[in-house]
Amino acid sequence: MFERPIFERMCLIGIGLIGSSLSLAVQRHGLVGEVVGCARSEATRQTALDLGLCSAVHADPAQAVGGCDLVMICSPVGTYAEIAERIGPHLREGSILSDVGSVKQAVIRDVGPFVPDHVHFVPGHPIAGTEKSGPEAGFAELFEDRWAILTPPPGTDADAVQRLAALWQGVGSMVDTMDARHHDRVLAMTSHLPHLIAYTIVSTAADLENHEQQEVAKFSAGGFRDFTRIAASDPVMWRDIFLNNREAVLDVLQRFNEDITALQRAIRWGEGEVLEDEFRRTRALRQGVIEAHQAGSFDPREPEKASKAEPDPGKPGPRES
Amino acid sequence: MFERPIFERMCLIGIGLIGSSLSLAVQRHGLVGEVVGCARSEATRQTALDLGLCSAVHADPAQAVGGCDLVMICSPVGTYAEIAERIGPHLREGSILSDVGSVKQAVIRDVGPFVPDHVHFVPGHPIAGTEKSGPEAGFAELFEDRWAILTPPPGTDADAVQRLAALWQGVGSMVDTMDARHHDRVLAMTSHLPHLIAYTIVSTAADLENHEQQEVAKFSAGGFRDFTRIAASDPVMWRDIFLNNREAVLDVLQRFNEDITALQRAIRWGEGEVLEDEFRRTRALRQGVIEAHQAGSFDPREPEKASKAEPDPGKPGPRES
């Protein structure tokens, strides 16, 4: 165990849903001595101070990271390279540089080259979020009972990894460590493809004739509603995820296309057995999800558990806006 | 308004999630004098009696409908034709024959020919359900704040339609009336396509290499989890829905395929603007869903509202098993 506070001063680069939630959580649990931040927009900087998310906020990341023993990048993945180049020279010796991005190989590719030898680079990804965005959306409980995945490159200092893991455990998360490539393949299936499909089906509905489109919203409780929630996620954040996990996403998408084409054919030709068999086998994986304690309760008479299942996609904080 | 009880004796043909919930709801609100039922399996018949869902249950639908002024078919759509042929001659003069099926043109096609002139045929579809199945899964609140759609064929007696509408309003539902073909098109988009896609993506994940498949369940909170819940719906019920709404489902599925192919191409060629624009426009429809009071709250700090959003796809009761 590490004594608290685990870190003297943490810098949040990007103060959105994840950044603000992390600040509230580490303050509640006394995990960090001081939280400073960096946001592009004046409005976000002011909100961060008004809500007590940070003791100080800067527009320039290079200034923000000064004297920090933990720097956490919480902005869209597409902004990482520019931020890394800017902060690299200013990172404190022995400090830890981490992030909350939904893709990890691209993060190592974009950030790695700018990390000084005397800094520990430990990429991370908390699988938690809601469909809401911005610093006002944060809440201290966001990471409780959620997984936080760390993907330290080979040779990363073990103590640094354990120290960062202790921070995530301190806010209530379960921590797992894996290879970045493996992370990207698993998340392409569990998060990226589901989001791409959700965005697509909502888009398909949006193109319906107007009178039908209104009824799609009216009668969305039939299953469509769940997709609209996921499709409300931050557009810039998701654009960057797809651009930066192309190979893995295209692979699972191709598999998905082959599978849905087979079902399409079965419907066209009235092959009931094919449909029924296909629908039956999916139940096993649902059982696996329940056993992995990821399903939550969907019994309306258990609102508490039901709500636990709510926070959706593994979303790092939304863009600094 | 109609005096209560609105119906003297209601017969449930099929006692699954919807049938059992409807029985509990009408009894709680005093809408029906007596509820009798029909189920194929001895186990279901016994459960219906043990839980007080019915005062009497039969294996033969022809016997069950005797003396009933409301007959509600709550079994998978594929069983309707056989049931209609069996009960037609035994339906009480002036009684109402309705159902809870997720498709309506096929129901009119399969049941209509067997309905005597002296019986009012008013097909219906409550857009309510959970991923659970069977008579033990029912609860009286299932239909509260949900839509119930009625699709009476041209020339249907107006008083019969109003009487049935009063029953659904009595259990807390909002009632809308529309043409069966229009219903099938709207539901193909809001319920049938979402289910087909959910079944497919879970199936795609189930085919992953084993070590990856286990992690898909473990890290399903990233968005995948929502799909597994929908994909846990009753296989036979859904087989029958797709076989009986083929034209509308294939149409929206083709539109979906074209849209996801466009996004696939944008990812392959790194067209960020295309992705961002597409992700932005979906937010408008999400807003429409929220305004239609179908979204519910996904803020974990509001478990009550969050739970309200839970009951999923428009599932009529599961098969009599």
B225 contacts in chain A (CB < 8 Å): 289, 294-296, 309
Would you say residue A213 has pLDDT above 90? no
What pLDDT, on the 0 to 100 scale, is given for residue A70? 98
| Tens digit of each residue's pLDDT, chain B (321 residues) | 799 999 999 999 999 999 999 999 999 999 999 999 999 999 999 999 999 999 999 999 999 999 999 999 999 999 999 999 999 999 999 999 999 999 999 999 999 999 999 999 999 999 998 888 899 999 999 999 999 999 999 999 999 999 999 999 999 999 999 999 999 999 999 999 999 999 999 999 988 887 787 888 889 887 888 888 888 888 999 999 999 999 999 999 999 999 999 999 999 999 999 999 999 988 777 777 777 755 443 333 233 333 333 333 333 333 333
**Cβ of B282 and A199 within 8 Å?**
yes
Asked if B93 has any chain A CB less than 8 Å from its own CB, the reply is no
Rounded to the nearest 5°, which phi and psi values hold at A173?
-90, 160
Which burial class, exposed, middle or buried, applies to A195 when counting CB atoms under 10 A from its CB (0-12, 13-18, 19+)?
Answer: buried
Cα separations in angstroms, B68 against A286, B62, B83: 40, 11, 16
Mean pLDDT rounded to a whole number for chain A: 89
- The mean pLDDT of A244-252, rounded to a whole number, is 97
Question: How high is the ipTM of this complex?
Answer: 0.86
- CA nearest B182 in A: which residue? A212
Would you say residue A194 has pLDDT above 90? yes
What pLDDT, on the 0 to 100 scale, is given for residue B293? 58
Closest by alpha carbon to A7, among A140, A120, A127? A120
**Cβ of B302 and A298 within 8 Å?**
no
Q: Which residue has the higher pLDDT, B222 or A61?
A: A61
The token pair that represents A162 in the structure block = 């354990």
- How sure is the predictor about A129, in pLDDT bands with cuts at 50, 70 and 90? confident
**Cβ of A217 and B267 within 8 Å?**
no
Q: Which of residues 158-177 of A touch B (CB under 8 A)?
A: 176
Which burial class, exposed, middle or buried, applies to B139 when counting CB atoms under 10 A from its CB (0-12, 13-18, 19+)?
Answer: middle
Indicate the helix (H) or strand (E) that contains A57.
Answer: strand A56-58
Q: Which of residues 283-302 of A touch B (CB under 8 A)?
A: 283-286, 288-289, 291-292, 294-296, 298-302
Distance, CA of A189 to CA of B200 (rounded, Å): 12
Can you list the domains of chain A with their CATH numbers?
7-178 (3.40.50.720), 182-305 (1.10.3660.10)
pTM of the model: 0.86
Closest by alpha carbon to A278, among B248, B239, B242? B239
- How sure is the predictor about A215, in pLDDT bands with cuts at 50, 70 and 90? confident
